[in-house]
């Protein structure tokens, strides 16, 4: 690793969370007051979506489930594996003011899932005279203005994107009504094993990062654990009960205002980062999920991603396996793990990118 004085040599910037206790001081800096009284907690955001869909089906016949054409590839595949009546509608992730016009594609008996892109999407909807059911996904916009002030019929989120919890999903109704509790769930305890395995991986990563010596065997082990358990979640289509001890842990992690921490980091970044011809910084007056960089071709994305990795910055691609016409979005993590010095380092690397670096 380069001589980066503020980084432990085993740490990079990004990737999944290492274990951090719920009472850690850095999680107590900003407390969240957002906790819908009618919320239901799950092991994953996908299970939250399925539970909501099944609850809606208790009340009305559903013709089509509409998903954004640009969306998480794993969630899209998982929902299609659960339901045969899924169709896609076009979106514009670059336009946070975009209005989804239900009159263009939806019917009264449809479910339309709206994605809060990067936490800055206004989630505007023109229902017209349509009685379609709206589900908003705030996985990449947890605690954003659109999340907390939603007017959708239902909202869901995967909590693992923002909170350092092994597993976690949430669903609620912004109108204050309860979600139908008659949805059947299976007596499947497989997620107990998945939770425990991911927690083990997170603890191994925390140990690896704090060690003065790089233990590559330990690194391979926690990466293998996370990848294996992720695959298990892709393959498990069941709705399962959330164990009480896990519910209590998720509740503890939800006490932190993760977005406010990111907001402070973004404010620092926007004072330091320079305009670039090589990528576009996606930003708004609202704080975003992370530092989102947009490029228009896969080649540029791969070059930019590789360049960042050589400087120990590990961005996530949001998302692979989508229509290339939408371009490519890389997210640089700017969460509670980091500080203003880290933000200055990220900006110094981005500001140093020249045309030749990405050719």
CATH of the domain at 128: 3.40.640.10
Strand partners, 291: 332
What are 110's two structure tokens?
Answer: 């449809």
Does 2 map to a domain? no
Q: What is the mean pLDDT of the chain?
A: 93
- Where b means 16+ CB within 10 Å and e means fewer, 116-133 reads bbbbbbbbebeeeebebb
Q: Are residues 161 and 65 in the same domain?
A: yes
Phi-psi region of 118 (alpha: psi -120 to 50; beta: other; left: phi over 0): left
What is the reported pTM? 0.95
Does 183 map to a domain? no
Q: Are residues 226 and 292 in the same domain?
A: no
Does 86 map to a domain? yes
Does 146 map to a domain? yes
pLDDT at 1 (0 to 100): 40
pLDDT at 8 (0 to 100): 62
Does 37 map to a domain? yes
With beta carbons less than 8 A apart as the criterion, state whether 308 and 332 touch. yes
Does 6 map to a domain? no
What are 2's two structure tokens?
Answer: 């380069």
Does 24 map to a domain? no
Strand partners, 203: none
Does 250 map to a domain? no
Q: Are residues 227 and 291 in the same domain?
A: no
Any idea what the Cα angle at residue 208 is, between residues 204 and 213, rounded to 5°? 150
* Chain segment 234-283, per-residue pLDDT in tens: 999 999 999 999 999 999 999 999 999 999 999 999 999 999 999 999 98
Q: Are residues 213 and 314 in the same domain?
A: no
Mark the ranges of the chain whose per-residue pLDDT is less than 70: 1-9, 355-356
> Nearest Cα to 31, choosing from 252, 225, 196?
252
Calculate the CA dihedral of residues 254, 210, 288, 280 and round it to 10 degrees: -160
Q: What is the CATH number of the domain that holds 298?
A: 3.90.1150.10
Q: Are residues 36 and 167 in the same domain?
A: yes
pLDDT at 315 (0 to 100): 96
Q: Are residues 218 and 143 in the same domain?
A: no
Residue 332 class from Cβ within 10 Å (0-12 exposed, 13-18 middle, 19+ buried)?
A: buried
Q: Are residues 60 and 118 in the same domain?
A: yes
What are 58's two structure tokens?
Answer: 């208790």
Number of domain units in the chain? 3
Longest dimension (CA), the chain: 63
Q: Are residues 197 and 75 in the same domain?
A: no
Residues of the domain holding 341? 257-358
First-to-last CA distance in the chain? Answer: 24
Q: Are residues 37 and 167 in the same domain?
A: yes
Q: Are residues 50 and 148 in the same domain?
A: yes
């Amino acid at each position: 690793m380069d001589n980066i004085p503020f980084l432990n040599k085993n740490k990079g910037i990004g990737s999944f969370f290492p274990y951090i206790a719920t009472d850690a001081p850095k999680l107590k800096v900003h407390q969240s007051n957002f906790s819908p009284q009618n919320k239901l907690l799950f092991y994953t955001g996908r299970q939250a979506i399925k539970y909501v869909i099944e609850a809606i089906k208790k009340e009305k016949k559903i013709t089509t489930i509409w998903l954004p054409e640009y969306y998480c590839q794993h969630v899209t595949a998982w929902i299609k594996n659960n339901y045969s009546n899924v169709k896609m509608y076009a979106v514009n992730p670059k336009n946070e003011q975009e209005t989804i016009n239900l009159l263009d594609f939806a019917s009264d008996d449809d479910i339309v899932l709206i994605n809060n892109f990067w936490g800055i999407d206004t989630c505007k909807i023109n229902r017209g005279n349509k009685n379609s059911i709206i589900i908003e996904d705030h996985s990449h916009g947890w605690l954003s203005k659109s999340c907390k002030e939603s007017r959708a019929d239902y909202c869901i989120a995967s909590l693992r994107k923002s909170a350092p919890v092994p597993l976690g999903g949430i669903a609620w109704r912004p109108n204050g009504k309860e979600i139908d509790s008659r949805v059947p769930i299976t007596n499947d305890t497989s997620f107990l094993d998945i939770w425990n395995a991911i927690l083990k991986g997170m603890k191994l990563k925390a140990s690896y990062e704090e060690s003065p010596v790089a233990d590559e065997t330990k690194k391979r082990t926690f990466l293998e654990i996370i990848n294996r358990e992720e695959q298990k979640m892709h393959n498990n289509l069941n709705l399962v009960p959330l164990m009480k001890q896990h519910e209590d842990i998720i509740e503890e992690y939800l006490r932190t205002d993760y977005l406010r921490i990111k907001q402070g980091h973004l404010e620092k970044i926007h004072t330091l980062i320079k305009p670039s011809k090589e990528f576009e910084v996606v930003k708004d007056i609202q704080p975003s999920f992370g530092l989102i960089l947009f490029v228009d071709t896969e080649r540029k994305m791969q070059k930019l991603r590789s360049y960042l990795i050589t400087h120990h910055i590990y961005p996530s691609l949001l998302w692979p396996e989508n229509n290339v016409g939408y371009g490519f979005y890389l997210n640089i993590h700017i969460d509670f793990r980091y500080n203003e010095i880290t933000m200055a380092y990220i900006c110094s690397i981005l500001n140093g990118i020249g045309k030749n670096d990405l050719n």
